Chains A and B, each alone.
Chain A
Amino acid sequence: MGGCFSDVSGGQEAVGGGGDVHNLQNMASDDAVDYFYRSKGLQPLYNRIELSLSASKLRDLDFMSKSDPMAVVYTKKKDGNLEEVGRTEVIMNSLNPIWIQKINVLFHFEIVQPLVFHVYDVDSKYHNLSTKMLDLKDQDYIGEANCVLSEIMTFRDRSMTLKLHGRNGHGVGNMGSITVHAEEAIASKMAVEMRLRCKNLDNKDRFSKSDPFLRISRIVEAGNPIPICKTEVVNDNLDPVWKPVCVTMQQYVSKDNPLVIECFDFNSNGNHTFIGKLHTSIQGLENLYKANVGENFVFPSTHHKDHEKVLKGKLFVEGYEEKELFSFLDYISSGFELNFMVAVDFTASNGDPRSPSSLHYINYSGRLNAYQQAIMEVGEVIQVYDYDKRFPAWGFGGRIYNGSVSHCFNLNGNAGSFEVEGVHGIMDAYRNALHTVSLHGPTLFGQVINQAAEIAAQSLSTNSNKYFVLLIITDGVLTDLQETKDALVRGSDLPLSILIVGVGDADFKQMEILDADTGPRLESSTGRIATRDIVQFVPMRDVQHGGRSMVQSLLEELPGQFLTYMRSRDIKPLAGH
């Protein structure tokens, strides 16, 4: 999940209101990271700031059409290196894009926080990919600009327009500009879900009917309206019904805050034809729903500034529901628990444990090998959420004491119990297992995943406020890709997530397939399909070299996966806490 904003199917996808999976994802992982720091007694001292970006007069880099721009925001660290903060969606065929996807940054009062904005033209062959997956080296660079976060905050309208320039400050002529608007994010769990439809829209297409979509923007005191979401495009229809949109209070601020809803006819060249607009608020939309009446769109007159032509096209609100979106933290602090399980790769590809080049080499001078590092770093993060700190621990792909190869054996060598005590318990069991188990193969995940699923399923009959996380540490290539998929598809129906940490330098392409962030949902050999993404893959080398902390990498998707499970079943945080 997450990072869902490339303009799929030629820019016809909904952004910002599609159940706000992405926003919650960001918020949820922020929450989880906060919780981790607070559990260590560290108080985060910052405000959450939301940046809205737009640009004008960008350079045109496409031959036959206009550029398809996307903006990437970085913070410049003390050593001069850039750290990516976030990406907007891709807007098709536009030199004056207004991006909807907001970028969240943390505003530390006491630190100078230089921001750098890069604008890229995303090649159309990448339009079906998640923007998070795009390799920026493959994209055409349009220009960049920089400023300091506190600078924006000092302006009355909290907006700043920056001229774009080339790399290292070089640039020829006018390269366009980027406007950054900053707002403090509101901590609120309220959200409104609505189903919108229109009737009798004007026809703007010559040979067929209009392909309408709606864009909802919030009007701010100073400056241009800020778009908060757009619906998907309904093709060839003057009475369209859109999928439900869910807007959070972060997006609409208050029920009385004025909104403008614009209706456009989608054109693939990016030059969408304006059909009409109307001014309202969330309150106004609720009233429309209650009275079960439509409101007419208007078209501003070209001659008189204050005149508006009332159109016959009307907007209706089919469904309206206010709901409280509980956060990951609400569940955890009310007594929900994450239960951790660990599985370690004992296949021969790790190299002979006696050789210093092996990933399993134990250095008694104290330097940790790759597996020990993964266990320690991940363990430190995740044990915070596990109350009893007793972890089931297994190994796979090794030849055990009785001479047989096992794809799920108890790491502690105890046939009766797979649980070990605390992170140090995992470390001890792992070191001992290296003496008694010889490395073998092949690499099969199926059995450990099934074992974990079994435990998750069993817990449901006694306790429904547990969620399970299986950590698999592995050096590489899977032999049973289909069997693993089958196990994952079955697991998607259970309170279970799987975190795969890759050690060593192997090619981890397969793991990316299992981590179904983009692309098709996992499909089992019998045609059953995963109902949600339960896998997150983290390559250890990226964590070591990339400057991203282990906490952030690990907690990026887990809270979202947890929330998807709880919300789909309408499970609420426990009362009375």
Chain B
Amino acid sequence: MNKINSRVLELTIISCESLTLAGKRPVKKNTYVVIKIDSNNDQLATAMNTDNGSYPSWSQKFIVDMPMHVTFFTLEVRCRNSSGDHVVGSARVPVSDFTRWYLPSSYLHFLSYRLRDRYGDRNGIINFSLKMKLPDDVAGVGASAGYSSPAILGLKYGGANMGQGSSHGMVIGVPFGY
């Protein structure tokens, strides 16, 4: 494993807010989020959210290996309906946004970004949390999962975990002042 030249992140995709499709109709269902670190690599994706329409939530956790040379990663929100699979919007997350301060490595960041559709227009918000993993934890995870040396490890925990889903969604997902 290439520990020195990469960082390992624990990334939890929490939820999205006010997603619309072309024509500003609210998204009805079947949304998921794709995590793109490096265009060459396999992509990670959340489960399909079938219920919450234009305010989907997942609270799904991923372990992501991120090479040191990477300066940003992309989160792409997609929606599948009868006419196909569409990109609803995407957000570029600069790595410097969570490495800027001299914070303890295990600090839990809560981050939100504006999503923009392919024309560059604003289309909703994505909320997620992120934490650097210590190298020891990672070795353990890698070994037990039986991966040889994957560029990206994807770990999926039951997304419907009540405690987690709600405590995160509750604090972050409620826009201030509602």
Contacts and interface: CB of A to CB of B under 8 A. Distances in A.
Given A531-B110, A531-B112, A490 B175 contact: no
Interface string A523-549: 100111111110000000000000000
Contacts of A454: 101
Interface size class of B (residues with CB under 8 A): 35 or more
Interface in A128-154: 130
Contacts of A241: 51-52
B110 A244 contact: no
A193 B168 CA distance: 13
Interface string B85-120: 000000110100100111110011111111010000
Nearest to B109: A493
Interface in A11-52: 13, 18-19, 21
A458 interface: yes
B22 interface: no
Contacts of B162: 193, 195, 244, 318-321
A377 B178 CA distance: 31
B176 A457 contact: no
Contacts of B174: 18-19, 21
Given A241-B51, A461-B104, A195 B171 contact: no
A556 to B, nearest CB: 13
A518 interface: yes
A303 interface: no
Interface residues of A, number: 50
A568 B168 contact: yes
Contacts of B107: 460
A312 interface: no
Nearest to B94: A526
Given A460-B103, A568-B171, A517 B177 contact: yes
Interface of A is mostly: loop
A133 B113 CA distance: 27
B176 A517 contact: yes
Contacts of A458: 101-102
Contacts of B74: none
Contacts of B97: 490, 528
A8 interface: yes
Nearest to A569: B108
B163 to A, nearest CB: 6
Interface in A164-212: 193, 195
A519 B178 CA distance: 9
B169 A243 contact: yes
Interface in B37-60: 51-53
B1 to A, nearest CB: 27
B171 A532 contact: yes
Contact of A461 (B103, B113, B167, B170): B103
A103 interface: no
A133 B101 CA distance: 36
Given A528-B111, A568-B110, A2 B177 contact: yes
Contacts of B176: 1, 516-518, 521, 532-533
B112 A521 contact: yes
Interface string B116-148: 100000000101000000000000000000000
Contact of B178 (A13, A321, A532): A13
A3 interface: yes
A447 interface: no
B52, B111, B167: most-surrounded residue (chain A CB, <10 A) = B167
Given A244-B169, A321-B162, A516 B113 contact: no
A567 interface: yes
A457 B97 CA distance: 13
A570 interface: yes
A568 B167 CA distance: 7
Nearest to B92: A527
A19 B177 contact: no
Nearest to B57: A243
B166 interface: yes
Contacts of B167: 567-568, 570
Nearest to B115: A527
Contacts of B109: 493
Contacts of A130: 177
A13 B176 CA distance: 14
Contacts of A96: none
Nearest to A1: B176
B166 A193 contact: yes
A530 B176 CA distance: 10
Given A2-B177, A519-B177, A568-B168, A457 B114 contact: no
A453 interface: yes
Contact of A3 (B101, B104, B166, B177): B177
B114 A523 contact: yes
B172 interface: yes
A235 B54 CA distance: 11
Contacts of B169: 243-244
Nearest to A464: B104
Given A527-B113, A528-B113, A529-B112, A18 B178 contact: yes
Interface string A311-336: 00000001111000000000000000
Given A4-B178, A13-B178, A457-B102, A564 B171 contact: yes
Contact of B101 (A195, A244, A494, A523): A494
B116 A527 contact: yes
A246 interface: yes
B112 A321 contact: no
Contacts of B173: 243
A530 B108 CA distance: 15
Interface string A226-245: 00000000010000010110
Contacts of A319: 160, 162, 165-166
What 10 pairs between A and B have smallest CB-CB spacing? A319-B162, A457-B101, A529-B112, A19-B170, A568-B171, A533-B176, A527-B114, A244-B166, A518-B177, A531-B110
Given A21-B174, A244-B162, A531-B111, 10 more contacts: A2-B177, A4-B177, A321-B162, A460-B103, A461-B104, A518-B177, A519-B177, A529-B112, A564-B171, A567-B171
26 contacts: A4-B178, A13-B178, A18-B178, A21-B178, A195-B162, A244-B162, A244-B166, A319-B160, A319-B166, A321-B166, A453-B101, A457-B102, A461-B102, A516-B177, A517-B177, A526-B94, A527-B92, A528-B111, A528-B112, A528-B114, A531-B111, A533-B176, A564-B171, A568-B168, A569-B110, A570-B167
Interface of A: 1-4, 8, 13, 18-19, 21, 130, 193, 195, 235, 241, 243-244, 246, 318-321, 453-454, 457-458, 460-461, 490, 493-494, 516-521, 523, 526-533, 564, 567-570
